[in-house]
Chains A and B, each alone.
Chain A
Amino acid sequence: MQKQSVFQSRLLPYALVAPQLAVVLIFFYWPAAQAVLQSFLLQDAFGLSTTFVWFDNYQELLSQPDYFAAIVRTFVFAFAIAFSSLSLALLLAVMADKPLRGGALYRTLLIWPYAVAPPVVGVLWVFMLNPSLGVLARGLRGMGIDWNPLLDGNQAALLIILAAAWKQISYNFLFFLAGLQSIPKSVIEAAAIDGARPMRRFWTVIFPLLAPTIFFLLVVNIVYAFFDTFGIIDTMTRGGPGNATQTLVYKVYVDGLLGGNLGSSAAQSVILMIIVVLLTAIQFRFVERKVTY
């Protein structure tokens, strides 16, 4: 698509694009290229010489059980977060879509957690579920559960999943509500006239029509779980206990902080880039489909 009438100028357009292009080249392409290059290099222990080693860094990385565990863990987190957050948000959106008194108020009261920063989310949840002083932890202990996420890796993972899903409810709710409101009322009425009860109407009419929204949100939630949970993990568990809550992004951060192996850390970054590119590609393919709907 192109504009029919445009301005003629030789230098002005370049001047207009220049600021953004400069930022993009300096802070995106240059570091990304460095990461790719670095991932093919091996530095000796004193940082004095580097040799080109092709895919050795990748090979070594992928043969580490630690790294493989982090990949699996990240995907488990992503799906657990997406599933729990999406299902609760869908339930709330279906309820809020009904013609209720105070509907606008409900919406306002449900969307604001979007604005709470991940590290703050982490702090809130760590406080609630801190084994020695948390209000909810006290309740759990009262129920006879031996709650100690500082020692128990599975409990720590559960804590991260709960906090991350909590933050994402509002986002999912908003998009589900928009999706529900775009379903023509006549379709639902037709199903009602055919005698379909509300539950049936939901599963046979509304849910299939929401499929594009669900798929879109699934991808967004997975991206969120991959990247935006960093702040939550860093304030709640710092990847521990052991490595029980170390995701791929967190591992890049920790390995880089220790500063030992530049090549391996760069290879990790490149693998993450590939994952993002794949997820974005899936999202775009889908968005194109949505347009033709």
Chain B
Amino acid sequence: MVEQEGIQRYLAHVILWIGIAIVAFPVYLAFIASTQDNAAIANGQMSLLPGGHFLETYYQTIFVGTSGSTREPVATMMLNSFVMALLIALGKIAISIISAYAIVYFRFPFRMAMFWLIFITLMLPVEVRIYPTYKIVADLHLLDSYAGLSLPLIASATATLLFRQFFMTVPDELLEASRIDGAGPFRFFWDTLLPLSRTNMAALFVILFILGWNQYLWPLLITTRDDMQTVQIGIRKMITTTDALTEWPIVMATAVLAMLPPVLVVVVMQRLFVRGLVETEK
């Protein structure tokens, strides 16, 4: 065992708490601001302790929305974000797992060509092809729809790669055994492969849900109707260019609400989250 002197251990605790303070302070401030009066904040007289407007502000944020800039209750925005994140995560997992299954468990002409076609999309983030993609989605009449929000983000080379890698480690004996039992490709997939992939799917789901929830540029482009905007878009619209008109307590309450679901996912499902994060980066 390497020595751990007392003073060094103290230093480590202190540095870690400073680090925690750095990451937590902006969020603490947001929460504090969401419980205070707008006038006090706008004057720069904000206190660093919670104020008494918690219920009032959150009620207005969730069910009514701002009075000026967005006029849409944050509950609607959260629902849109939730549906989009769910569609992206589930859609990616579904189409990736079956295509990986085909590529690993079947031999067919152009098998590797298809694998490469999928693989190369890894290099084309939505940011580099926004306007042409926008045009296609507009031509398909998918603006302001959940399909338009999620479909272009659904193709995922990472998930396909991950499942392919995992399927390669599944012993061949399993396939032979279920063949002897008379199972065809569907039965084998459903009864053997899918249960084995459960942890991988869960880890992937956690990461993809967070990524989906946090999408910004794409929803910004293709949502024009207020009732289709996601919470990330809503929050930007709440910040008006003239400071005086920004309803800061509501903006900050929205920020807190917007980060709550993904942060909870990270904290509660930490194991799956870490696993998913490390695996999708491989």
The verdict on A54 contacting chain B, using a C-beta distance below 8 Å, is no
Contact B4 A98 (CB under 8 A): yes
Q: How many residues of A contact B (CB 8 A)?
A: 97
The verdict on B152 contacting chain A, using a C-beta distance below 8 Å, is yes
Contact A120 B259 (CB under 8 A): yes
Can you name the residue of chain A whose Cβ is closest to the Cβ of B117? Answer: A24
Q: A96-B16, A192-B2 are in contact. Are A21 and B99 (CB under 8 A)?
A: yes
Specify which of A29, A116, A192, A280 lies most central, judged by the most chain B CB atoms within 10 Å of its CB.
Answer: A116
* Distance of A253 Cα from B221 Cα, bound (Å): 9
The verdict on A170 contacting chain B, using a C-beta distance below 8 Å, is yes
Q: Which residues of B contact A135 (CB under 8 A)?
A: 29, 46, 48
Can you name the residue of chain B whose Cβ is closest to the Cβ of A163? Answer: B26
Contact A231 B106 (CB under 8 A): no
Can you name the residue of chain A whose Cβ is closest to the Cβ of B131? Answer: A256
Q: What class of interface size applies to chain B in its complex with A?
A: 35 or more
Total A-B pairs, Cβ < 8 A: 289
Mostly helix, strand, loop or mixed at chain A's interface? helix
Contact B258 A198 (CB under 8 A): no
One of B44, B96, B99, B105 near A7 (C-beta < 8 A): B105
The verdict on A119 contacting chain B, using a C-beta distance below 8 Å, is yes
Contact B99 A17 (CB under 8 A): yes
Contact B16 A95 (CB under 8 A): yes
Specify which of A91, A123, A272 lies most central, judged by the most chain B CB atoms within 10 Å of its CB.
Answer: A123
Contact B26 A124 (CB under 8 A): yes
| Segment at the interface with A among B6-14, B53-61, B196-204 | B6-14
Contact B20 A109 (CB under 8 A): yes
Contact A169 B27 (CB under 8 A): no
Contact A108 B125 (CB under 8 A): no
Contact B232 A16 (CB under 8 A): no
The verdict on B64 contacting chain A, using a C-beta distance below 8 Å, is no
One of B105, B154, B232, B251 near A231 (C-beta < 8 A): B232
The verdict on A260 contacting chain B, using a C-beta distance below 8 Å, is no
Chain A nearest CB from B23 CB (Å) reads 5
The verdict on B205 contacting chain A, using a C-beta distance below 8 Å, is no
Chain B nearest CB from A1 CB (Å) reads 6
Contact B23 A169 (CB under 8 A): yes
The verdict on B151 contacting chain A, using a C-beta distance below 8 Å, is yes
Q: A17-B102, A116-B262, A128-B29 are in contact. Are A133 and B44 (CB under 8 A)?
A: yes
Chain A contacts with B in 126-172, Cβ cutoff 8 A: 126-128, 130, 132-135, 138, 166, 169-171
Q: Mark A166-200, 1 if CB is under 8 A from B, else 0.
A: 10011100110010000001001100100000100
Q: Which residues of B contact A26 (CB under 8 A)?
A: 136
Can you name the residue of chain B whose Cβ is closest to the Cβ of A117? Answer: B214
One of B46, B108, B213, B251 near A13 (C-beta < 8 A): B108
Contact A188 B2 (CB under 8 A): yes
The verdict on A28 contacting chain B, using a C-beta distance below 8 Å, is yes
Contact A92 B16 (CB under 8 A): yes
Chain A nearest CB from B267 CB (Å) reads 6
Q: Which residues of B contact A69 (CB under 8 A)?
A: none
Q: Which residues of A contact B240 (CB under 8 A)?
A: none
One of B20, B132, B274 near A35 (C-beta < 8 A): B132
Contact A24 B15 (CB under 8 A): no
The verdict on B90 contacting chain A, using a C-beta distance below 8 Å, is no
Q: Which residues of B contact A192 (CB under 8 A)?
A: 2-3
Chain B contacts with A in 120-146, Cβ cutoff 8 A: 121-125, 127-133, 135-137
Contact B9 A98 (CB under 8 A): yes
* Distance of A25 Cα from B152 Cα, bound (Å): 10
Contact A235 B172 (CB under 8 A): no
Contact B42 A272 (CB under 8 A): no
Q: Which residues of B contact A266 (CB under 8 A)?
A: 131-132
Contact A256 B130 (CB under 8 A): yes
The verdict on B225 contacting chain A, using a C-beta distance below 8 Å, is no
The verdict on A88 contacting chain B, using a C-beta distance below 8 Å, is yes
* Distance of A14 Cα from B99 Cα, bound (Å): 9
* Distance of A9 Cα from B107 Cα, bound (Å): 8
Q: Tell me the A residues contacting B by CB distance below 8 Å.
A: 1, 3-10, 12-14, 16-17, 19-21, 23-32, 34-35, 38, 88, 91-92, 95-96, 98-100, 106, 108-121, 123-128, 130, 132-135, 138, 166, 169-171, 174-175, 178, 185, 188-189, 192, 198, 216, 220, 227, 230-231, 234-235, 249, 252-253, 256, 265-266, 269, 272-273, 276-277, 280, 287
Question: Could you list 13 further interchain pairs (A-B, Cβ under 8 angstroms) beyond the known A110-B16, A111-B270, A249-B128?
Answer: A4-B172, A9-B106, A16-B99, A24-B117, A24-B121, A38-B132, A119-B235, A123-B30, A128-B26, A169-B22, A185-B2, A198-B8, A280-B122
- List, sorted by A's number, 17 A–B pairs whose CB atoms are closer than 8 Å: A17-B98, A17-B99, A17-B114, A34-B132, A38-B132, A95-B11, A96-B12, A100-B12, A124-B26, A135-B46, A166-B22, A170-B23, A171-B277, A188-B2, A269-B131, A273-B128, A280-B122
